[in-house]
Structure 1
Amino acid sequence: MSGPGSYADALQGRLDGSGLRIAILCARFHEEITGALLERCTTTLEAHGVEGESIRVLRVPGAWELPQAAGRLAGLERYDAIVAIGCVIRGETPHFDFVAGEAARGLTDVSLAYDVPVILGVLTTETEQQALDRARQDGQDKGRELALAALEMGLLFRELT
């Protein structure tokens, strides 16, 4: 379970996303949760100056498919950051461990191979309620945090070129 505080609490100043191009991959599995994360992510990006047409949203079946799609997007060299949204809720089998671990590893591999920030937005929770609490705007608002991380990293990578 997440601890107190939030990534967003540590930010200083305003992140101006004007001119950034952001791709968001969103898993359809656990649609209520991933849809809430996606909505908060896009709303936050737009509130920070990323134009609507500079945000590309693509759907994938589930968290397992996120690294494959992220790799294809990164290879296009069109985006300043890629946000990967998914949700894996623990069940009665070790399937959770395989999907969550490989999704995280695969997204890390993409970010290192293509030199583009890939933001890991795969919720891994014990229960559906924990996931909902993290996804809601009146909860932990992880969708907002994903957008802020994409903005910060996209701007950083531009500065380092």
Structure 2
Amino acid sequence: MASNLKNLSDFSHTTVPSGQAFKFGIIVASWNAQVTGALYKGAYNSLLKHQVLEENIISVEVAGSYELIAGADLMLAKKQVDAVICLGCVIQGETRHFDFICDAVANGLANVGLKHTKPVIFGVLTTDNLNQALDRAGGKHGNKGDEAAITAIKMADLNTSLS
């Protein structure tokens, strides 16, 4: 589906369980702070909206999207959380750096989740330009931070229901 036709943060078609029983980590990259700050605000507010208690949200900042991998691993090793939400933004530049970073972050976060057997949510924008990123960080296409928070709640609930 073409994202230009839809607000990607519309959850009217699905049921979101209460997050009251869960504890979440949010790791946000400071690189592209205008975008990642908006993603963080969306994720944080969505958790609160779905009954997650403020004291059950642990937020940390890392330098960039690549550092989300170590941040998620450290969070899961040192804190009792049910899921970790990773928020970042990588914007295409003139070199292949974009490709290497995006691939490493996606694979790294997947591996951290498998290592700890806990949901690690990929809330990293990989866009061609700043306008596309802003459109997905509270703009016309919704907020990927909202989506990441909803995904974290649903995955934490799934993990509990399968236990």
TM-score when scaled to structure 1?
A: 0.93
How many residues are treated as equivalent by the alignment?
161
Greater mean deviation of Cα atoms: 91-100 or 11-20? 11-20
For residue 14 of structure 1, report the CA deviation from its aligned partner.
Answer: 3.7
Q: Tell me the distance in 2 between the aligned counterparts of 1:123 and 1:93.
A: 18
Task: Provide the residue aligned with 2:151 in structure 1.
Answer: 149
Contact between 1:46 and 1:52, CA under 8 Å: does it hold in 2?
A: yes
1:29 to 28, 31, 52: 31
Gap runs ≥5 in structure 1: none
Q: What is the letter of the counterpart of residue 12 of structure 1?
A: T
Contact between 2:9 and 2:144, CA under 8 Å: does it hold in 1?
A: no
Task: Provide the residue aligned with 1:125 in structure 2.
Answer: 127
For residue 77 of structure 1, report the CA deviation from its aligned partner.
Answer: 5.4
Task: Provide the residue aligned with 1:85 in structure 2.
Answer: 87
Task: Provide the residue aligned with 1:66 in structure 2.
Answer: 68
Contact between 1:40 and 1:137, CA under 8 Å: does it hold in 2?
A: no
Q: Tell me the distance in 2 between the aligned counterparts of 1:23 and 1:16.
A: 16
Q: What is the letter of the counterpart of residue 74 of structure 2?
A: R
Q: Tell me the distance in 1 between the aligned counterparts of 2:23 and 2:67.
A: 22
TM-score when scaled to structure 2?
A: 0.92
Deviations 1:71-110 (A, max 9, x none): 1111235010000000000000001011111011100000
Q: CA RMSD in A?
A: 1.8
For residue 143 of structure 1, report the CA deviation from its aligned partner.
Answer: 1.2
For residue 137 of structure 1, report the CA deviation from its aligned partner.
Answer: 5.4
Q: Tell me the distance in 2 between the aligned counterparts of 1:105 and 1:139.
A: 25
For residue 159 of structure 1, report the CA deviation from its aligned partner.
Answer: 1.1
Greater mean deviation of Cα atoms: 78-87 or 138-147? 138-147
Greater mean deviation of Cα atoms: 122-131 or 133-142? 133-142
Q: Tell me the distance in 2 between the aligned counterparts of 1:38 and 1:149.
A: 14
Moved over 3 A (4+): 4-11
Is 1:50 the counterpart of 2:52? The answer is: yes
Deviations 1:97-131 (A, max 9, x none): 11111011100000111100000011000000000
Q: Tell me the distance in 1 between the aligned counterparts of 2:124 and 2:145.
A: 10
Task: Provide the residue aligned with 1:106 in structure 2.
Answer: 108
Describe the SS at the equivalent of 1:82: strand
Q: What is the letter of the counterpart of residue 133 of structure 1?
A: D
